[in-house]
């Protein structure tokens, strides 16, 4: 769990750094670089923590998806160790430090609409799944476990198992949803070689958001992740 938490921190910090850098490239305001650098350093620190946590625990060349021999055209292969990519993570910091030194006039940049939330940030209150999609209670091969990093599984509103032979209708209750344009459910079998799919949830009369995942996308050999 600490590795996953650090990985989440890494991606959050890197996206913030990349956003500030993109604004700099658009506006040429050096203040954007000063805002980007702490986020790049935060991302590197999170990755270094992952390396610390996994050193001596993970195999040095663990294959957990596509191997280098697969010939994948897009994205990284899924093998090696976290430490193998530490140099390129640190290089992000070096590049930004160089840019900050080259552009010392770091006045506060202009802020654009959308950089700050227009109102309270929405959050998920509960997730339910239609009864016809739930496994009968058996823990046999036909019952798939649900994987959701944001909510506890096994509560009254969220089952631990899913029937791969039935469509699954997700019913989501949100708080502070007034500023939302859409609610999208991302899902896939718990298999990193497969791409995520999406279903746009529709708002219903009771205020919940609902959408259905076809049984064709629920594989009996893999657990279900959303």
Same domain, 127 and 220: yes
Given this model, what pLDDT does residue 184 score? Answer: 94
Same domain, 133 and 91: no
Is residue 107 in some structural domain? no
- The 8-class DSSP code of residue 80 comes to E
- The 8-class DSSP code of residue 112 comes to -
Tell me the pLDDT of the chain averaged across its residues: 81
Highest mean pLDDT, choosing among 62-76, 101-115, 195-209:
195-209
Same domain, 78 and 20: yes
* Greater pLDDT, 76 or 130: 130
Q: pLDDT for 8-37, tens place per residue?
A: 999 999 999 999 999 999 999 999 999 999
Please give the average per-residue pLDDT across 158-169, as a whole number.
Answer: 76
43 pLDDT exceeds 90? yes
- Write b or e for each residue in 27-53: b if 16 or more Cβ atoms lie within 10 A of its Cβ, otherwise e: eebbbbbbbbbebbbbbbebbbbbbee
Given this model, what pLDDT does residue 73 score? Answer: 62
Is residue 109 in some structural domain? no
Same domain, 149 and 64: no
Provide the percentage of residues in the chain whose pLDDT is more than 70.
77
Is residue 128 in some structural domain? yes
Of the candidate ranges 105-109, 133-137, 146-150, the one whose mean pLDDT is the lowest: 146-150
Given this model, what pLDDT does residue 30 score? Answer: 92
Given this model, what pLDDT does residue 68 score? Answer: 61
Same domain, 176 and 214: yes
- Report residue 220: phi and psi, to 5°: -70, -20
Is residue 108 in some structural domain? no
Given this model, what pLDDT does residue 193 score? Answer: 80
Same domain, 9 and 73: yes
Q: Which of 43, 70, 102 is the last residue of a domain?
A: 102
Is residue 77 in some structural domain? yes
Q: pLDDT for 139-151, tens place per residue?
A: 333 345 555 444 4
Highest mean pLDDT, choosing among 17-21, 70-74, 174-178:
17-21
Same domain, 83 and 136: no
Given this model, what pLDDT does residue 156 score? Answer: 37
Same domain, 65 and 142: no
**Residues spanned by the domain of 34:** 2-102
- The 8-class DSSP code of residue 168 comes to E
- Report residue 117: phi and psi, to 5°: -55, 140
Given this model, what pLDDT does residue 72 score? Answer: 61
Q: Which of 56, 71, 102 is the last residue of a domain?
A: 102
Taking each helix axis from N to C end, the angle separating 86-102 and 2-27, rounded to the nearest 10 degrees, works out to 30
Same domain, 130 and 209: yes
Say how far apart CA 170 and CA 37 lie, in whole Å.
40
Same domain, 141 and 74: no
Of the candidate ranges 13-27, 163-177, 193-207, the one whose mean pLDDT is the lowest: 163-177
Counting the structural domains of the chain, the total is 2
Q: Which helix (H) or strand (E) holds 200?
A: strand 197-203
Question: How would you classify the pairing of strands 62-63 and 79-80?
Answer: antiparallel
Taking each helix axis from N to C end, the angle separating 31-54 and 86-102, rounded to the nearest 10 degrees, works out to 160
């Amino acid at each position: 769990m600490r590795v996953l938490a650090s990985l989440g921190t890494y991606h959050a910090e890197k996206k913030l750094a990349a956003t500030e850098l993109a604004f700099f490239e658009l506006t040429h305001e050096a203040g954007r670089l000063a805002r980007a650098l702490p986020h790049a350093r935060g991302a590197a620190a999170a990755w270094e923590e992952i390396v610390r946590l996994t050193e001596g625990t993970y195999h040095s060349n663990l294959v957990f998806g596509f191997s280098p021999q697969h010939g994948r055209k897009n994205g990284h292969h899924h093998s090696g160790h976290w430490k193998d990519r530490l140099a390129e993570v640190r290089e992000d910091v070096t590049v930004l430090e160089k840019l900050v030194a080259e552009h010392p006039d770091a006045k506060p940049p202009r802020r654009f609409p959308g950089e700050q939330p227009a109102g309270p940030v929405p959050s998920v209150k509960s997730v339910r799944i239609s009864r016809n999609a739930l496994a009968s209670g058996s823990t046999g091969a036909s019952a798939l476990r649900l994987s959701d990093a944001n909510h506890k599984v096994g509560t009254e509103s969220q089952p631990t198992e899913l029937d791969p032979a039935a469509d699954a209708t997700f019913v989501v209750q949100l708080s502070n949803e007034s500023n939302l344009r859409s609610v999208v459910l991302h899902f896939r079998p718990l298999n990193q070689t497969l791409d995520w799919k999406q279903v746009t949830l529709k708002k219903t009369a009771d205020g919940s958001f609902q959408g259905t995942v076809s049984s064709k996308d629920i594989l009996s050999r893999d657990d279900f992740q959303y």
